[in-house]
Amino acid sequence: MSAPSPLMNTYGERTLALSHGEGVWLYGVDGRRYLDCLSGIAVSTLGHAHPVLTAALREQVGRLIHCSNLYDIPLQRQLAQMLVERSGMTKAFFCNSGLEANEAAIKLARLYGHNRGVDLPEIVVYENAFHGRSLATLSATGNSKVQKGFEPLVPGFVRTRLNDIEDLRRIANERPNVTAVFLETIQGEGGILPARAEYLQQVRALCDERGWLMMIDEVQCGTGRTGRWYAYQWADVLPDVVPFAKGLGSGVPVGGVLARGAAAETFQPGNHGTTFGGNPLAMRAAVTTVQVIEEEGLLARATEVGDLILGGLREGLAGLDGVREVRGQGLMIGIEMTKPCPGFVAAATQAGMLLNVTAGNVIRLLPPLIFERSHAQWMLERLIPLIREQAQA
């Protein structure tokens, strides 16, 4: 039908092309309208073509897009100040993506180890974790599909299970070179699997006891998605290192690492850097996203609308054998089915909703934070019958 694609086949065949968006709606080149229930995988925090963000970016494009980190970038300082105040950290480093943020965190943990006389530092990572697709971050990832074919993996990672503090204590006793624990507050790609608050507090206590860094990957669950700025805030713990990315720029690529204490002082000139990271355009997008989240009360809205969705799904799917669990926090929601559901995304698209399926059998919802109750209702009316059908397939 069509000529061979000039694109590498990293994503397989894609049938839907989008032409533009407005608010929570995306429009296909076919002229059809779709409700965005995915935000381009937790990215489009303010939806599409938000007037405040659009105006800020237009102004910034006409002023300065890039200048490199050879120069002081006042917008970096402004954003860093906003993020440290909201996270409880003290310093920030900016890059362009989630894997870069995690790569920086991994380097930081190794350097922190070296500074304390550990020549071959180890980092504890988790089953079902996802941290990215660079060599170090795919090695930290707990999914053999992501790693397969790219061996040899980067050494220096020890793996444990989420919410199993006894296993982490065993590692503490057996591995003297551990310098950090690295986990997601809610595993996103792994299937919306939350770390329990009690577990996070136990990890914090163990890190304090051993002098380990507690590093929390908030790339997906951060930036207000769960109804708090950072998902670890629900558990009342303060990590040492916090990589973030996805939603902060509402679609303009931006990532980074927040840190406090010794971790915030670890990198010195020459240790780490980036050409694009922290550029004025990305910083403007992020500063504006943070401002709009607060001006529009989107953290409280994420909780309110998220609870509405969770409640609606639990009621509408109650008693179905094919549905194992409905779980999540704020606007990060998973519906775990008992069987894989490869055709579900296409069925939802056909019904006018963009969402995805992760870990094979978890239907994942990550709507923009501007989602309103009416959008949630619109979605539930169409999604529940589809899931019921899927559950009986």
Ligand X SMILES: *Cc1c(COP(=O)(O)O)cnc(C)c1O
233 in contact with ligand X (CB under 6 A): no
Minimum CB separation of residue 43 from ligand X in Å reads 9
**Burial profile 103-139: b = 16 or more Cβ within 10 angstroms, e = fewer:** bbbbbbbbbbbeeeeeeebbbbbbebbbbbebebbbb
The secondary structure of residue 195, as a DSSP letter, is: P
Q: Which of 44, 45, 87, 102 binds ligand X (CB under 6 A)?
A: 102
Options 188, 194, 247, 249; binder of ligand X; rule CB under 6 A:
188
217 catalytic, yes or no?
yes
**For residues 133 and 382, which CB has a smaller minimum distance to ligand X in the complex?**
133
Q: Which of 45, 102 has the CB closer to ligand X?
A: 102
Q: Catalytic residue, from 36, 93, 94, 130: name it.
A: 130
CA distance 82 to 88: 10
If one asks whether residue 232 binds ligand X (CB under 6 A), the answer comes out as no
Position 189 contacts ligand X (CB under 6 A): yes
Residue 201 neighbours by CB distance under 10 Å: 14
Residue 332 touches ligand X, criterion: CB under 6 A: no
Among 140, 184, 185, 305, binds ligand X (CB under 6 A): 184
Please confirm, yes or no, whether 246 is among the known catalytic residues. yes
**Residue 87 touches ligand X, criterion: CB under 6 A:** no
- Residue 204 is a binding residue for ligand X (CB under 6 A): no
| Listed ranges 94-102, 145-153, 159-167, 232-240: which one lies at the site for ligand X (CB under 6 A) | 94-102
Q: How far apart are CA 231 and CA 186, in angstroms?
A: 8
| Beta-carbon contacts of residue 392 (< 8 Å; ≥ 6 apart) | 320, 322
* Catalytic residue list contains 91: no
Using the minimum distance from each CB to ligand X, give the nearer residue, 43 or 178.
Answer: 43
Report how far residue 173's alpha carbon sits from residue 380's, in angstroms, rounded to the nearest whole number. Answer: 48
Give CA separation, 46 vs 211, 283, 287, 377, 382, in Å.
39, 15, 12, 19, 23
Among 36, 122, 217, 240, binds ligand X (CB under 6 A): 217
Strand order in the sheet with 362-365: 323-329, 332-337, 362-365, 356-358
**For ligand X, which residue has the nearest CB?**
98
For ligand X, the binding residue among 34, 112, 130, 267 (CB under 6 A) is: 130
For the chain, what is the total number of helices (H) and then of strands (E)?
Answer: 13, 17
Residues 382, 68: Cα–Cα separation, whole Å = 47
State residue 236 phi and psi, 5-degree precision. Answer: 60, 40
Residue 132 touches ligand X, criterion: CB under 6 A: yes
Interface stretch with ligand X, choices 72-80, 91-99, 259-267, 320-328 (CB under 6 A): 91-99
Question: Residue 34: how many CA atoms within 13 Å on its side-chain side?
Answer: 29
Q: Which is nearer to ligand X, 8 or 70 (CB)?
A: 8
Q: Which is nearer to ligand X, 296 or 336 (CB)?
A: 336
By CB under 6 A, name the binding residues for ligand X: 97-99, 102, 130-132, 184, 188-189, 217, 219-220, 245-246
| Active centre residues (catalytic) | 130, 217, 246
